[in-house]
Chains A and B, each alone.
Chain A
Amino acid sequence: MNTAPDNPRLCYEDFTPGREFALGPLTVDAEEVIEFAAEFDPQPMHLDETAGKESLLGGLAASGWQTCGLIMRMMAQSYILNSTAQGAPKVDYVRWKRPVLAGDVLSGVSRVLSARPLKSRPGLGIVQFEQEIHNQRGELVCECSNPTFFAMRDAGGGQ
């Protein structure tokens, strides 16, 4: 996808420190919250509206793990799928700052902190990102930081 010469894929060289990629907006779907929770995090506040309202989270709340997945989806749609990304080896931190509730609209930013070529893998570089995700009221709901591997343009990644 997006390999036409007028729309080259983003390569390692394009991820310059300070560059920002907009994430979202993404509406948190109640059915998806329940579906994710039923498979991966079957606790009452993630499965049931009433139980969620009675919990500290205050409503049908997405599992923190689903929030990570939703941020990944927004990053994929924003730039990862139009890039030479070769996966992420780690995540430094994920901070769940506020509950993410069904119906919330998430948006945010992915910001390049630093980038360096990999000595062990010629043609590959590693880029450090941080993400900040807000809800529709502008409240910070999640922040996280991770490196991602990208192929370099001169390694043929842009072709």
Chain B
Amino acid sequence: MNGLDAFIVGEKLDYGAHTFTPEEIIRFARKYDPQPFHLDAEAARNSMFGALCASGWHTASVWMKLAVEYRPVWFRSLRERGLPVPYFGPSPGIFDVAWTKPVYAGDTIHYFSECIDKRPRKTDPEWGIVITRASGFNEAGDQVVTFDNAVLIRRQPSD
């Protein structure tokens, strides 16, 4: 058995939801994305978004937050199924990031992660690569964000 066995292509993990308050939208924007429609409700009304909305990087970063928070739950489920607990290496990158609808102040976004591909790494047999598709949906059921995320997984499991 190796660390890649923890990832089942087609399995979709439910990371739970996060509510974006106006305060945290503005706090993130001040630091990383100080465009008027992420900073100020009045300025946002005059933009193409129409109301205060989160930076796309904020929306994506919350996926990571929930992914890390979900790991103990997922690891328990893996152990119960007799599957290895993976050792995570660095991520080489993300691709096809799409912010399909704005995330407005007060929106609650429900995040998911689905394994879409996994393979041994030709250049380094100690590591495999896993591709997961992240997604987030608002309360109306509209997708607001999606991206594909690559991560290195050590083939020797951590326990």
Contacts and interface: CB of A to CB of B under 8 A. Distances in A.
Nearest to A151: B48
B93 A95 contact: yes
Interface residues of B, number: 33
Interface in A19-68: 32, 36, 39-43, 56-57, 63-66, 68
Contacts of A57: 90
**Chain A residues touching B, range:** 35 or more
B99 to A, nearest CB: 6
Nearest to A85: B35
Interface string B123-151: 00000000000000000000000010000
A86 interface: yes
A73 B93 contact: no
Nearest to A95: B93
Contacts of B147: 91
A99 B89 CA distance: 12
B65 interface: yes
Contacts of B34: 73, 76, 81
B63 to A, nearest CB: 9
Contact of A94 (B61, B88, B89, B93): B93
Contacts of A124: 48
Contacts of A69: 28, 31-33, 55, 57, 61
A87 B90 contact: no
A87 B37 contact: yes
Contact of A39 (B65, B92, B98, B99): B65
Contacts, number: 99
Given A40-B62, A90-B98, A149-B48, A73 B32 contact: yes
A63 B149 CA distance: 14
A86 B35 CA distance: 9
Given A72-B55, A87-B49, A93 B93 contact: yes
Contacts of A93: 93-96
A60 B61 CA distance: 19
A89 B96 contact: no
Contact of A80 (B35, B65, B92): B35
Interface in B26-71: 28, 31-35, 37, 47-49, 55-57, 60-62, 64-65, 68
B17 interface: no
Contacts of B94: 64, 91, 93-94
15 contacts: A41-B65, A42-B65, A64-B94, A66-B61, A69-B57, A73-B31, A85-B35, A87-B48, A87-B56, A90-B96, A91-B56, A92-B95, A94-B93, A95-B93, A96-B92
Closest 6 CB pairs of A and B: A69-B32, A91-B97, A95-B93, A40-B61, A93-B95, A65-B61
